[in-house]
Every structure is written in structure tokens, then in C-alpha cells.
Amino acid sequence: MNEAIDTGFRIKPFDETLKESGQYPITSSGIKVFQINVGKVCNQACRHCHVDAGPKRTESMPGHIIELCLDVIKKERFPVVDITGGAPEMNPGFRDLVKGSRDAGCHVKTRTNLTILLEEGYGDLPQFFADNRVELIASLPYYLAETTDRQRGAGVFDSSIEALKRLNSLGYGMDGSGLTLNIVYNPCGAFLPPPQKAIEADFRRELKKRHGVSFTGLFTLTNLPV
């Protein structure tokens, strides 16, 4: 026999919460950010990857879909176009997507795993990013090599630092340049991230002291192990 257990706990209906905060009914006020995932191909195969991306994946947004996205971008002129992957840079249409979005007057953000910027055929990307004023959201699990390499593979930390230095040399992450270089931190185990401001201060101090690297800001992220 099923018997309901009255715990005395009541979940407030969503509509009720909206009404209390003066936001009912919810209405669309337009699209501010047009986010596009261009595929699962990546030069890395991180243990924590929530989209299971990697070098063996073949799913990549085809050129004609990128063209369709650009048609929408040109028509709607979203304030922000936000590109993600995989390693989005590995999609053959990536540069066209960035340039087309910029031509349409959009601010462009892209995710980068940093190490791709050192791979053959991608070395000119930092300059391309700077020329197009692309905002970078760079993943770096931790400011210590051992912890980062455990999650992302041997040598990833050193390559990431080299890429960060290249970006700094172009003005990324430097005061007054207008070139934004944000870092994403995610926990290396089954625990929640520490407060964002605290870990940002740790990264800023340690990356500067150990490697002379600067960045704009840091976001904490909690990966879902799927």
C-alpha cells in the first residue's frame, strides 16, 4: 500500500514565485546571445568533457548550416554571437562564422582550450582573434601543471601557458587593450568549485608569479559527469 508521507515541505509553484517577484507572465524580450555549437571535434580528450568531444569524433557542423546561421545573424544582428564546441576552431567554417558575425556588427565570443592555438594550421589564430576583437573564454582547469594534466592529458598545462603568453603578447588579458581573455576553472573531482572571486584571486596571483601570465576574469564551472 502506498502511503503519502507528509514531510511538511511544500514546493512553491513556479508561477507563484514569478508573481511574487513581479515577473509574471514571462514574456520574450528578444535574443541577446546567439550561441552555436559547431561540433564535437577536439584536439584534446579530457576526462571531464561533458560533450564527450575528442580527436576521434567526426561530428562537425557542415558548411551549409553555418551559412544558414550567418543568414540569421545578418538578419537579426544579435548583440552577441557565442561559439562553442568541441574545439570550435577545428570546424572548417569557424573563421567565416567569426568574420561574418563581425561584419554583421555582432560581438563575438569563442571558447578555446588554448592548446589548439599551438597546433599546426592554427598558429595564426591569436592574431585572427585580435584582428576581429574576439572575446576569448579559455579553459584552464588549474594553475598547477599536475592537476591540469591529470584532467586534460600530459603536457596540456605547459602548452596552455605558452598559448596564454602568446595571447598576452597581443594584448589579450592586458589592462586597456579591450581584448578580453577570461579563464574557466572547473573542479578536478566530485566537488563544487570554491567561491569564484576567491579562486580568481588565487589564479591571478599564481599565474602571474609563476609564469608572468595575465587574464581578464575567471568563471567557475561545475561539470556534470555524463
Interface residues with ligand SF4 (CB under 6 A) are 42, 44-46, 49, 51, 53-54, 85-87, 113, 139
Q: Which is nearer to ligand SF4, 112 or 168 (CB)?
A: 112
Q: Which is nearer to ligand SF4, 100 or 138 (CB)?
A: 138
Among 167, 78, 69, 88, which residue's Cα sits nearest to residue 127?
167
Q: Which is nearer to ligand SF4, 177 or 223 (CB)?
A: 223
Query: In the 8-state DSSP scheme, what is residue 88?
Result: G
Please give the sequence-ordered ranges of beta strands (E in DSSP) within the chain, or none if there are none: 33-37, 80-84, 107-112, 135-139, 181-185, 217-220
Cα-based distances in Å from 75 to 10, 15, 145, 165:
46, 34, 45, 37
Rounded CA-CA distance 109/92 in Å is 17
Query: In the 8-state DSSP scheme, what is residue 155?
Result: T
Q: Which is nearer to ligand SF4, 46 or 70 (CB)?
A: 46
CB 87 → ligand SF4: shortest distance, Å?
6
CB 56 → ligand SF4: shortest distance, Å?
11
Rounded CA-CA distance 6/184 in Å is 42
CB 187 → ligand SF4: shortest distance, Å?
13
**Diameter of the chain measured on Cα atoms:** 70
Q: Which is nearer to ligand SF4, 78 or 183 (CB)?
A: 183
CB 134 → ligand SF4: shortest distance, Å?
17
In one-letter notation, the amino acid at residue 136 is L
